[in-house]
Chain A
């Protein structure tokens, strides 16, 4: 006879098992494997060989790695503040009593759910150097020396950043809208009685009250910035030169094009370290907001 407690545990494990088995094999296992591979040299055929920290030493003199790291940071630093401010602005506009706000919300949010490949395709045509929509407009405005966008050393990163902002801002706007709805109306009423105007209300009520939301959004945007890859691939293919080569792009190339699985995993660990730092900041911040 099984004891009652034992039986209870078995039932519980039977609930978890289907997901846990899949999760262990396809997620947890590979995560652990990545850490092991990072300290080995392996091309997929030769016997796997322990090399200690050598992969990380190689990284130090790999100029493409440094370019990728720099570009990833440039991308993230460009995307985060603009997306955040635009999302906040849109949320404030849509939080006001306006007719048809559901329609506006749908329009702004749609790029987020739309297929990346299709969106990138149209983006490439709109930003095409010849007679793309953007250059036609710039030309009509009298701009000379029109940029060649994705093919232009100076503008390639901008083209990707602009695409990301356009695609994601609706998502963050919805988070801000939820945050705005959580602010008590009484605060605004009290401020009105004290004679506060719109700008003062924003400065002394909305902005401070939204701080946890803003914090969360900045963290999410930063982590997503570090993970950037597919968009770069679809718009600039990392070029021209190494102008838009990002970290995950380099990891992908090393693993799937030159079969340097160990080295690729070591770079993946660097990516993980970056994300981990941001996540730890998030934990600290959440504790702070939970206490205040």
Chain B
């Protein structure tokens, strides 16, 4: 009897709490299928009588959503590739090679993890502007592609791979580049996946970077485009919500299919700090 009551308490708690997290998304979905005038009405109608599917059609014409998506995809994919390649490359040297100033250099990397981006966003903008990179996608890519966090994450993973493996390959006459490409890289798939997902989601969702740098309408990303649309047409709730739903889909697909790597990534970097 006691265990039954306990179970009921746990499930009730979980369901109530998960409603708290889910309701905003359900509301978003429901409103995206309504006429603007029906979004804010009493009593609440969760399932619209006549779903306004055309919201999802019209939005593509109201704002250049396709262009925004292409821009965001381009920035996100380039950033992720550069990040994975350069981080894993540098991390290999920090973990498995010996050279002068190795530890000091690594300390400089770690040190900057503690400096929030907000502290240097202004000088960074000034520098990129002086390189004539403001209002370019390249600026956003460069902004995100060389993080100390990526090097740190990959290094931690490589440290867990026994040195003997590299030593044996060296005795066989393999060059360091070959050891990296043929041995380390295939072994580090879990860490690479974690880094890829985090970079993808962060870049896709980034608001402040594109907001500071991109001024031309056709160069904007989904997040900025969405924000501009919301500012210009505050009352068009139906379409704002439809655009919001669409902007969530790519991240949702990645998240649901690769959730395992998210959870493992947070658990391993989180607990260790």
Contact = CB atoms under 8 A, between A and B. Distances in A.
Interface of A: 8-9, 11-13, 15-16, 18-20, 22-23, 25-31, 33-34, 37, 44, 90, 93-94, 96, 98, 104-111, 113-119, 121-123, 125-126, 128, 130-133, 136, 139, 166, 170-171, 174-175, 177-179, 182, 212-213, 216, 223, 226-227, 229-230, 234, 248, 251, 255-256, 261, 264-265, 268-269, 271-272, 275-276, 279, 282, 286
Interface of B: 7, 10-11, 13-14, 17-18, 20-25, 27-28, 31, 39-44, 82, 85-87, 89-90, 92-94, 97-100, 102, 105, 108-109, 112, 114-128, 142-143, 145-148, 150-151, 176-177, 180, 201, 204-205, 207-208, 212, 222-223, 226-227, 230, 237, 240-241, 244-245, 247-248, 251-252, 255-256, 259, 262-263, 266-268, 270-271, 273
B107 to A, nearest CB: 12
The 7 closest A-B CB pairs, nearest first, are A22-B146, A178-B267, A118-B244, A33-B123, A15-B93, A19-B86, A30-B124
Contact of B120 (A20, A22, A30, A93): A30
B115 A31 contact: yes
Contact of B244 (A90, A108, A115, A216): A115
Contacts of B114: 275-276, 279
A206 to B, nearest CB: 15
14 contacts: A12-B93, A19-B86, A30-B121, A30-B123, A104-B18, A111-B21, A115-B204, A116-B207, A118-B248, A130-B40, A131-B40, A133-B27, A223-B116, A272-B119
B122 A19 contact: no
Given A111-B21, A118-B245, 18 more contacts: A16-B94, A19-B89, A25-B142, A30-B121, A44-B126, A104-B18, A114-B248, A115-B247, A118-B28, A125-B40, A125-B241, A136-B42, A166-B20, A177-B267, A213-B271, A251-B122, A261-B122, A272-B115
Looking at chain A's contact residues, the main secondary structure is helix
A248 B122 CA distance: 11
A23 B248 CA distance: 30
Contacts of A265: 122-123
Contacts, number: 268
B90 A19 contact: yes
Given A93-B13, A115-B244, A174-B266, A268 B118 contact: yes
Contacts of B204: 115
B68 to A, nearest CB: 12
B270 A31 contact: no
